[in-house]
Structure 1
Amino acid sequence: MEEDDDSDDDACCPRSPVTLGPSPSIGHEHGLARLLKNNRKWSKAIRERQPDFFEKGSKGQQPKVFWIGCSDSRVPENELLQLAPGEVFTHRNIANVVVSTDLNCLSVLQYAVDVLKVEHVVVCGHYGCGGVAAALGDQSYGLIDHWLANIKEVKHQHLLNLEKIRDQEDRCRALVEINCRNSVLTVAKSPIIRAAWERGQSIEVIGMVYDIQRGLLSELGYHVSNADDLACHLKVNSNELFEARKECAELQKL
């Protein structure tokens, strides 16, 4: 078996703030051999710091957080949350969309809630989302148009207020936020979450957004912990949403 070449450039090895490995070289070409070598270095670094880490992990997982995020490679949930493997259960798709007909997402949600007993369901969008930007326009992208139709439906529900935003980038940011809100409400309305609340299980659904340019997460004010919270959020109309967004932007300028 080939031994690790510690003299090689460590910059090629992926760095995780959790494992304290070396930083990646973004421009470095990663072939299969390089990826496997990176994995060996990563495993070795963890075992040196915590010899029983993998043995403990092999016995099961007990995450408290279920993360529904975008497939974008720039939004690595474990990294930005500073959580180790086993601490966050994850489902990702283009533009963090949750719809009631997506059996894949709902199956993962049910496992997270009913089996893993997570306490927090985080739906996280991110600024600069390509899926959301595509949904703002009228260009056809082929098969993905079927998926983008879910975001376009949200866009049309808030079209009057979105069109009041002249800056295209800010308009896209607004759609990122309300698309995330829509997914939060879809999760909270699901029979899975409703049943959990009815049996007294403590679980909250939270909407967050990640700013890629700053590396920061922010809550969006979409926080649902019970049926009463859900009812209040469902009563909020588009005008109220955008007025609250405008007030928040003004406060941030102070």
Structure 2
Amino acid sequence: MKTFEKLLLENKAWAQDMVLADPNFFSRLADVQKPEVLWIGCSDSRVPSEIVVNAQPGEIFVHRNIANQVITTDFNSLSVLQYAVDVLKVNHVIVCGHYNCGGIRASLKKQNPNLLMVNKWLKHIKDIYRLHEGELDALGSEDARVHRLVELNVIEQIYNLAHTSIIQGAWNQDRRPILHGWVYGLQDGIIKELISLPPGSQLSPIYEYADVA
């Protein structure tokens, strides 16, 4: 059996199980989505957002990319953020990285001439490394540098979120959402909280919007 055929069969089995447990499950989901959370995670197949927090369909609005980045010139992530915050009215935005992230590890190496688009994406993580070069280079091994850069990257993405007009506008108008920076352990499945920014958190003035609505 081919992989895609197995996926289709598993889908049918899952749907049947859900209906047996709750006959109105799909009709209720089809009506409207009201997630409380936007999850910005890594594309890594080992970190499925809903599964690692035991969430049900409809509970989390999800955006994933390589190394869970929030790049303020990326219309894809910004459109997801705006829809989640301004339309779905989520109360929490989570950036969840994970230890031993391949994107983070690759960013500590020279650029691969065969992966031009990936290089451009990872360049933002290289910038984070440059900002913390002394701390990272003082660590004893590559694994230790990757471990710490995973954490620094999550923290940086939280501040990238806070620097957007989308988040600052929602903070000023609705006193939401809370921003959470988490990291997931592949070896034990446990999530560690690194940072939390509630509405009104102090930012450097150069990142504040003068008259954000």
Shorter-chain TM-score above 0.5: yes
Give 4+ residue runs of structure 1 displaced > 6 Å after superposition: none
State how far apart, in whole Å, the 1-side matches of 2:204 and 2:2 are. Answer: 49
TM-score, length basis structure 1: 0.77
Residue 78 of structure 2 corresponds to 106
Aligned pairs (5 A) from 1:163-178:
163-178=137-152
Are 1:96 and 1:180, in contact at CA under 8 Å, matched by a contact in 2?
yes
Residue 60 of structure 2 corresponds to 88
Q: What stretches of structure 2 of length at least 5 have no aligned partner?
A: 208-213
How many positions carry a matched residue from both structures? Answer: 204
- By relative contact order (CA 8 Å, sep 6+), the higher-ranking structure is 2
Are 2:175 and 2:200, in contact at CA under 8 Å, matched by a contact in 1?
no
Superposition RMSD on alpha carbons, in Å? Answer: 1.5
Whether 2:16 is the aligned partner of 1:50: answer no
Residue 79 of structure 1 corresponds to 51
Residue 25 of structure 1 corresponds to none
* Other structure's SS at 2:193 match: strand
Are 2:175 and 2:199, in contact at CA under 8 Å, matched by a contact in 1?
no
1:44-86 CA-partner distances (Å, limit 9, x unpaired): 0000000000000000101001000000000011001111000
Whether 2:157 is the aligned partner of 1:183: answer yes
Residue 142 of structure 1 corresponds to 116
Whether 2:186 is the aligned partner of 1:205: answer no
State how far apart, in whole Å, the 2-side matches of 1:197 and 1:31 are. Answer: 45
Whether 2:160 is the aligned partner of 1:160: answer no
Are 1:224 and 1:230, in contact at CA under 8 Å, matched by a contact in 2?
no
State how far apart, in whole Å, the 2-side matches of 1:139 and 1:186 are. Answer: 24
Are 2:44 and 2:66, in contact at CA under 8 Å, matched by a contact in 1?
yes
Larger Rg belongs to: 1
Are 2:99 and 2:186, in contact at CA under 8 Å, matched by a contact in 1?
yes
TM-score, length basis structure 2: 0.92
1:150-207 CA-partner distances (Å, limit 9, x unpaired): 1001110110111010121111010000111111100011100000011133210010
* Other structure's SS at 1:205 match: strand
State how far apart, in whole Å, the 1-side matches of 2:43 and 2:182 are. Answer: 15
Whether 2:195 is the aligned partner of 1:214: answer no
Identical aligned residues as a percent: 41
Residue 3 of structure 2 corresponds to 31
* Other structure's SS at 1:199 match: helix
Could you tell me how far 1:142 is from its partner in structure 2?
Answer: 2.9
* Other structure's SS at 2:96 match: strand
